[in-house]
Amino acid sequence: MTTDGGAEGGGDGTAAYADLGATTEDAMEIAETSMDRVHELVPQETPTDRLRAKAVHATGDPEFAHLMRFANDPVAVGAEAVLDERPIVTDITMVKSGITGRGHDCEVRKAIGTGAELAAETGMTRTAASVLELDERGVYDDAIAVVGNAPTAALALADCIEQGTRPAVVVATPVGFVKAAESRERVREVAAEHGVAAVTNVGRRGGSGVAAGLTNELVHAASDVRNGETTLDALREESP
């Protein structure tokens, strides 16, 4: 299993930043300086603050921190899922491409492309059909489910959860003016009702980069646990 070191963490479940995508001295310095500046805007007081900070880092928008919503200890649950090498399943290729290949041994796969026949038969979107197809195969149970682009994929995933599918954690930040906010609200409601850990946001903003960044932060949290910089218990909290 890949390990990536970092500086000593704090007692609140956070740790000094070590970018899992940076491989050179200059890149690591840039990443650390960038996150230091983000942390000035988003103080690291609770485990979910690391996700708020990552959303700000991904968007360059400090206001995005206030749009984030969490359910059922997503940092601890997500980190544990990474440590357990659960699959990471994204809605589209762009989100998959943004997931770091370092710091974990999880299979990373995309849903899109697996439900073409169902989409043709029913007229539903390809992403929604792909989610339903993978759910039929049991792929989403105990997985890290990530939706960064397609609201219909988030809605399909919410339906699957309501019908009994249990991902380890859901990261849902689909972007757009049609069904995006509604799909994230639906994910939040279903996740809260069925005890599924979830990371979402309110409003129209979001996107693939946000979803990938948030997922990478779960990987980073897992690396911090593996390296002894924090513990799963320290990553647990009652999240608003």
pLDDT of residue 20: 58
Name the residue ranges covered by the structural domains of the chain. 67-235
Distance CA 66, CA 21 (A): 26
Contact 207, 175 (CB under 8 A): yes
Distance CA 232, CA 61 (A): 29
Along the 240 residues of the chain, how does pLDDT read in single tens digits?
333 333 333 333 333 445 556 667 777 777 788 788 888 888 899 999 999 999 999 999 999 999 999 999 999 999 999 999 999 999 999 999 999 999 999 999 999 999 889 999 999 999 999 999 999 999 999 999 999 999 999 999 999 999 999 999 999 999 989 999 999 999 999 999 999 999 999 999 999 999 999 999 999 999 999 999 999 999 997 544
Q: What is the pTM of this model?
A: 0.86
Q: Identity (one letter) of the amino acid at 2?
A: T
pLDDT of residue 14: 38
Query: Quick one: CA dihedral 42, 47, 51, 57, positive or negative?
Result: positive
Left, alpha or beta for 234 (phi > 0: left; psi -120 to 50: alpha)? alpha
DSSP designation for 116: H
Residues 6 or more apart whose Cβ sits within 8 Å of residue 121: none
Identify the architecture of domain 67-235 in CATH.
Answer: 3-Layer(aba) Sandwich (3.40)
Residues 6 or more apart whose Cβ sits within 8 Å of residue 139: 87, 89, 109
